[in-house]
Amino acid sequence: MDYISDKVSSYIDNNKGLYSTNGFVTPSAIKDEFGCIFNYLYLKKCDNSKFTVGIFLDRDYRYLLTLLACMKAGITYVPLSRKLPIARVNQIVKVSEIDMVVSDIDSNFESNSVYIQDIIDLKLEAGNVSVSYDEKQPLYIMFTSGSTGTPKGVIIPRSAYESFLKWMDEYYDVNSSDKMLFITEFTFDISLVDVGLLVLNNMDFYFSKFNGNIIDVMQELEAFEINIMSTVPSNLTMLLSNKIINRFKIEPLKLLILSGSKITKKLYDLVLGFFPTTMFYNGYGPTEATIFISCKYFDGRFDFEGPNASVGHEVSDMNIILLGNDKKQVNKGSVGEVFVSGNQLMSGYINNPERTNDVLTTIDEVTYYSVGDLAYIKNDNLYIVGRVDDTLKTRGYRVNLSDIESYTYKLDYINESVIVAIEDENIENKLFLFVTLSNNVNKNTIFNDLKEILPDYQMPWDIIIRDEMPLNNSGKISKEDLIKTLYN
């Protein structure tokens, strides 16, 4: 029996219902709707081992059921976002060669499409079901932004997510009595942390109405007595930095998993102040290596090294090495580029062998993925200091933007900090600092305080104070949108 299919079947058979954005969906309704979706997709697949389904639904329980039905039926799925323009969706449909899109709205897809309600109303019977599983078969194709403007489709095989699931099952202390709030988009791979914990533990699962208004999350945490949450740091910063949170009676979380971007010391202190008894984890990894390649339990030992949060140790069978410019491993304590190998590596980028060959390399007969991050190891903990592509020259000096950002957080009144660079013919690159603040300080104060901690060549050309940062579909701060404001 296939491990993933077995876990999905067990969850559906024993499910306790789901808390949709529109109310409670009973266990029998979950089982019936899942059966309808599974049977329909199974019959459509027939003998086509490469049958691929796009999911274009609201972030709610039917999205989850369609995803799980694909997993059980041995069908590759591609999560699609309702937040994207239809032209961008069709670009993904074309690149990933989707055979069918499951949707709940009328759109002009460049593929066959079917309404989810029609699937459920048909109530098809599949008869004797026999699914052949291949561990190398793509489980899902997750799209990330490409530097050329064409999105990159990351192919994750069944064996990769199986390896991650087995690690999670042993690592996190979760059981069926827990309550989890789901606020992540399905197009972001950390959503599969929530999905995995659900099918492994069959806990109470609540779909959040969160769509940018953090007060929705505060209300849900209080009303549903949530004790488990997985999200990105920017969401939690918005949550804990807002003074309105003190009006809500929010129980301490049992488990908090942050991932997707860097955790600042300020956010770390906010979490420990608000949730002092919470098991607090920092997950790290690229989409190309199935969600996390390392994870750190913040237990007070080596949690931070200066401004840099630890991302802990490798998960599962993953192996991380740090290489210098000469492609040789650096000494412990020295900064090098992160390369990772192991069962969770992607198969490649769909229909893009050139890009795949650029990022997958063979070292001592082992395939490694070039993550593109710069890091060092100290006290057996991995610390990320920046991106290889964040390193550039300004005023004749080589600087790393992530490194500058980390130092700006030494100013207590800075909530969020983002440095972007604009090419300039005179000084190579002009640096601009975007910040959100906890106190009402002016630009001159920030400039003067930064001069105390940054050398002249790292000082920003200008500082832009914002009420909030723009976020992309994954919940990360959108540097592209910030740069557009400079040109506008």
Q: What is the pLDDT along the chain (488 residues), one digit of tens a residue?
A: 799 999 999 999 999 999 999 999 999 999 999 999 999 999 999 878 789 999 999 999 999 999 999 999 999 999 999 888 888 889 899 999 999 999 998 878 877 899 999 999 999 998 888 899 999 999 999 998 654 456 789 999 999 999 999 999 999 999 999 999 999 999 999 999 999 999 999 999 999 999 888 999 999 999 999 999 999 988 898 899 888 888 999 988 999 999 988 898 889 999 999 999 999 999 999 999 999 999 999 999 999 998 889 999 999 999 999 999 888 999 989 999 999 999 999 999 999 999 999 999 999 999 999 999 999 999 999 999 888 888 887 877 778 888 889 889 889 999 999 999 988 766 678 899 999 998 889 999 999 999 988 888 889 999 999 999 998 776 778 888 999 898 77
Give the CA count within 13 Å in the CB-facing half-sphere of 262: 24
Specify whether the CB–CB gap between 284 and 261 falls below 8 A: no
**pLDDT confidence of residue 147:** 47
Report the C-alpha gap between 100 and 80 in whole angstroms: 12
> With DSSP H G I counted as helix, E B as strand and the rest as coil, what are the percentages for the chain, rounded to 5?
35, 30, 40
**pLDDT confidence of residue 266:** 87
Sequence-ordered alpha helix ranges (H) in 105-190: 116-122, 158-171
Specify whether the CB–CB gap between 371 and 380 falls below 8 A: no
For 340, the token pair is: 């990772």
**pLDDT confidence of residue 145:** 65
**pLDDT confidence of residue 64:** 98
**pLDDT confidence of residue 135:** 93
**pLDDT confidence of residue 83:** 82
Sequence-ordered alpha helix ranges (H) in 158-304: 158-171, 191-201, 214-224, 233-241, 265-274
Give how far Cα 135 sits from Cα of 4, 65, 125, 343, Å. Answer: 10, 22, 27, 11
Sequence-ordered alpha helix ranges (H) in 15-60: 27-45
Residues in the chain, total: 488
Report the C-alpha gap between 208 and 175 in whole angstroms: 20
Enter the pTM of the model: 0.87
| Selection from 377, 376, 406, 401 nearest residue 389 by Cα | 401
Give how far Cα 325 sits from Cα of 322, 335, 338, 402, Å. Answer: 10, 10, 12, 19
**pLDDT confidence of residue 75:** 97
Q: Determine the topology of domain 395-487 in CATH.
A: GMP Synthetase; Chain A, domain 3 (3.30.300)
Report the C-alpha gap between 42 and 129 in whole angstroms: 8
**pLDDT confidence of residue 148:** 46
**pLDDT confidence of residue 150:** 67
Report the C-alpha gap between 63 and 82 in whole angstroms: 12
Specify whether the CB–CB gap between 97 and 223 falls below 8 A: no
Report the C-alpha gap between 430 and 437 in whole angstroms: 22
| Selection from 70, 42, 187 nearest residue 139 by Cα | 70
For 291, the token pair is: 């969600």
- Other CB atoms within a 10 A radius of the CB of residue 225 amount to 12
Specify whether the CB–CB gap between 186 and 63 falls below 8 A: yes
